Amino acid sequence: MFVLSNVGNFLTETLNTFITTLASFPPENPPLSSIFILIVSFFVSLGSTLVSRYMIDIDRLATLTRETKKHNKMRMEMMKTADTKLKLKYERNADKMKKLQSELTSMRMKPLLITFLPLMLFFVLLSNIYRGEAIPAVIPFELPESILLRIGTYTYVEGWGQVFRPDYVWWYFGGSITFGSIFQKLAGLQPD
C-alpha cells in the first residue's frame, strides 16, 4: 500500500509541475507554440513507448510478426501463381493465422488502454490553449490546396506575413507519429 501511495504522490506532483510549467509558459504564438507542441508529442510518445515496452513480450511480438508476414507473403504468392498446393497449404493455416493475428492485435491494444486517458488529458489542455486566436504553428510557404483537407487555414500573422496555420491536432500528430516511430524502433516494438 505504501508503494501505491508513493506512486500516486509522484503522479500528482508531476501533473502539478506540468500544469505550473504550462501556465508560466503560454505557448500561444510561433515559434514557441510549435516547439511546445513538439515537446508535448515527444514526451507523450516516449511515455507511450515505455508503457508498451513494459507490457509487451518483445520476443513473442517478433515471432507473431514474422509468422504473419510469412503467411501474407504466401497469400500473395498464391494469388500470383494460382498454385493449388500452395492454396491448400494457405487454407490449412488460415485458422491458426487468424488466432495469431488476433493475439498480435490484442498485444498491441493493451498499452493503448493505459495511455488513452493521459492522451485525452493532453488534448483537453491543448484545446484550451489553442482555441480562438492562438496559433500552434506556421508553415511559411504555400501548400497545394489538394493536400490541405481542412487541416488548417491561411492567415496573416504579425511578423510572419501570409502563412499556413495548421490546426494544433495535426501539428501534434505529425510530431507524435515521427517521435513514436523512432521510439518504437529503438525499443524493439517494430520488429523487422
Tell me whether residue 147 is in a domain. yes
Tell me whether residue 62 is in a domain. yes
pLDDT at 23 over 60: no
Tell me whether residue 55 is in a domain. yes
The model's pLDDT over 148-158, given as tens digits with 9 standing for 90+, comes to 555 667 777 77
- The H-or-E segment that residue 164 falls in is strand 161-166
**What confidence category does residue 2 fall into, taking pLDDT thresholds of 50, 70 and 90?**
very low
Peptide bond into 144 cis (omega under 30): no
pLDDT at 175 over 90: no
| CA 167 to each of CA 34, 61, 135, 174, 192: distance values in angstroms, whole numbers, following the listed order | 11, 35, 8, 11, 34
* pLDDT for res 1: 44
Tell me whether residue 150 is in a domain. yes
Tell me whether residue 100 is in a domain. yes
Higher pLDDT, 142 or 189: 189
Tell me whether residue 148 is in a domain. yes
Higher pLDDT, 23 or 10: 10
Looking at the structure of the chain, the number of domains it has is 1
Mean pLDDT of the chain: 78
* pLDDT for res 4: 46
pLDDT at 105 over 70: yes
Gap between the Cα atoms of 119 and 81, Å rounded = 46
pLDDT at 21 over 70: no
Helix/strand/coil for 134: coil
Tell me whether residue 162 is in a domain. yes
Domain that holds residue 166: 2-187
Higher pLDDT, 166 or 46: 46
Gap between the Cα atoms of 82 and 84, Å rounded = 6
Q: Which range scores top for mean pLDDT: 24-33, 110-119, 178-187?
A: 178-187
The model's pLDDT over 44-101, given as tens digits with 9 standing for 90+, comes to 888 889 888 888 998 998 899 899 888 888 888 888 887 888 888 888 888 888 998 8
Which candidate, 4, 111, 18, 104, places its Cα nearest to that of 61? 104
pLDDT at 130 over 80: no
Tell me whether residue 192 is in a domain. no
Q: What is the DSSP letter of 144?
A: -
Exposed / middle / buried, residue 119 (Cβ in 10 Å: 0-12, 13-18, 19+):
middle
